[in-house]
Structure 1
């Protein structure tokens, strides 16, 4: 069965525009934004109109290309000054997602590689690099899906948290990639999607895209994960991530660590699907990962016609948490499956490149 793939991030070079699926409007509206200004692209990243670590990286790469393309600089050095301003600006949009910085640094490395060339030639090189980042991500997701599928059996019940699907990447997704590949091969997985408070990426996005693809998907509230595990409905947990530390600690959407603790209690394997661009060997442990705090209004009134909390109540709204490596059964990358101890297995994944 073919997978109905939605390309959530793409470049329209003729219009000098980045085309983004506005994920904040799903599942009720499927709207593609046509963004021609760097401020609009920055806002789309910050406001989660584009989200998912790989998709953020792709959007940032195209964003820095378009911002540099608009420069009127006539030589390499002047163009680099303009490029750096755009790059540094995008770096302020989402502090936790390592793919953002990975993509921006890769664009800068390509810029420097073109030293001595004309401004026109450098701009074209930046476009080529951004296109490569998108194309490579598609291959990465498929490879992660194949490795993850090797750990699963037909008919399994799978739990996932947040959204690590095709709309969060170039294609297939990370944690959802084995589900899509399994769908093509008749595995008939039964997927349970946590709603993922407070932004409901599981309810609005994962449930939506899996249903669109014909996957058997059941939506549950975040606090229902324990009972479906206890009832024997779940045989494996698959999640994506925004950053993996050198010791295997993994930052993902808030609530992921709680799911991992439950999986450990019920003896259910907990798999993190992580492109190597998300693995940060310079980050020693999860304690070194910056956790983004978001506005309290997301908790108190974002999804309600009227506020559902007392006016003026204090809120604490971290967007991510860190799952300790001891709770992670394996980290699945495009170059293979890393098992504990991760300080030894993760570096070996890079050596396969």
Structure 2
């Protein structure tokens, strides 16, 4: 396993018997770590986007279960398991779209069910949470290699790539999904430049992706989201590479709002479109993207920036956090279990039957 501490950038750490989260709302201007010692604080940090990114949310929730077990055992030695289940329900309700959250909580429920009497249950649960964290990092490195191999295979004439939102170490256990592919491709000299969309309304591209890539000295150009079409028209882009928050059985992908627009533009301009996500992001119980619950957030995120209002009072606001990109617009989905090109029901089912490559 690769240790999470091997990354130049990290956002989730377990130290001093506490969960520490890098407050991503303040980046890149401030680097502030918040200590979490109760479940309510973990729920609030997921809900309020102190931590964001589907894999990172799942990892955070897993550590939240450890905190729940420790606190509930101290509170009620006889009924603590029932109380922990209530805390798991609260963690599950923190955000509705990222399926990694529910996968990680299911893993922790299984760990609770198989607790042995010969070891402290908190120690056993912490081992499981750290395993989830380390496995995500290892999966990201595998995806990076596979995605870079796909870029090399198609040898597109343009050497620029577009990415959207943040899919790097900040959004995962480390290295990143789409940014992991980009990091690996840069190391292999397969790309020359990354164009990062600013990603309104939370500016994850401007604040987080640009910060991560410049830390790694990868040539990065920040652009308004609406610039993508012009860049593709100029022939500057070979790939759009994004992550995912949920992928259905047929290969439809829910990701940060604006992803669908990029997929439509890529199809029109002959630019290839790649999704990089671990298999924990797949929801095989949903047949297609129409069934994915799409989170909506409040109007203040759209009408104001850092408390400064830009829009008129009383204007209506529509603020969905995600959109759904149909499988037919996706050239490849890269996972730690392999690559599915031109994703379909059959292709996704075959992928999910494979063992992990890392």
Please indicate the TM-score interval, normalised by the length of the shorter structure: over 0.9
- Deviation of 1:48 after TM superposition, in Å, equals 1.0
> Which of residues 206, 219, 222 in structure 2 aligns to 1:219?
222
Q: Residue 87 in 1 paired to residue 68 in 2?
A: no
State the match for 2:341 in structure 1.
Answer: 339
State the match for 2:243 in structure 1.
Answer: 240
Give CA deviations for 1:132-172 in whole Å, capped at 9, x if unaligned.
00010011000111110012148721000101011111111
Give CA deviations for 1:264-301 in whole Å, capped at 9, x if unaligned.
10011101111000011111111110000001010001
Aligned length: 346
State the match for 2:3 in structure 1.
Answer: none
- Deviation of 1:213 after TM superposition, in Å, equals 0.6
Instruction: Give the direction of change, closer, same or farther, for the CA distance of 1:187–1:220 in structure 2 (3 Å limit).
Output: same
Do 2:62 and 2:108's aligned partners in 1 also have CA atoms closer than 8 Å? yes
Q: TM-score, normalised by structure 1?
A: 0.94
Do 1:58 and 1:133's aligned partners in 2 also have CA atoms closer than 8 Å? yes
- Deviation of 1:183 after TM superposition, in Å, equals 3.2
Instruction: Give the direction of change, closer, same or farther, for the CA distance of 1:11–1:236 in structure 2 (3 Å limit).
Output: same
Provide the alpha-carbon RMSD of the alignment: 1.8
Write out aligned runs for 1:196-211 (5 A): 196-211=199-214
Q: Greater CA deviation, 33-42 or 267-276?
A: 33-42
Do 2:151 and 2:185's aligned partners in 1 also have CA atoms closer than 8 Å? no
- Gaps in structure 1 of 5+ consecutive residues: none
- Gaps in structure 2 of 5+ consecutive residues: 1-5
Do 1:188 and 1:216's aligned partners in 2 also have CA atoms closer than 8 Å? no
Q: Distance in 2 between matches of 1:48 and 1:304?
A: 16
State the match for 1:21 in structure 2.
Answer: 22
Q: Distance in 2 between matches of 1:122 and 1:345?
A: 40
Do 2:21 and 2:34's aligned partners in 1 also have CA atoms closer than 8 Å? yes
Write out aligned runs for 1:1-353 (5 A): 5-12=8-15, 15-72=16-73, 78-114=79-115, 117=117, 121-153=120-152, 156-303=159-306, 305=308, 307-353=309-355
Detail structure 1 runs of 4+ shifted over 4 Å in the superposition.
73-77
- Deviation of 1:84 after TM superposition, in Å, equals 0.1
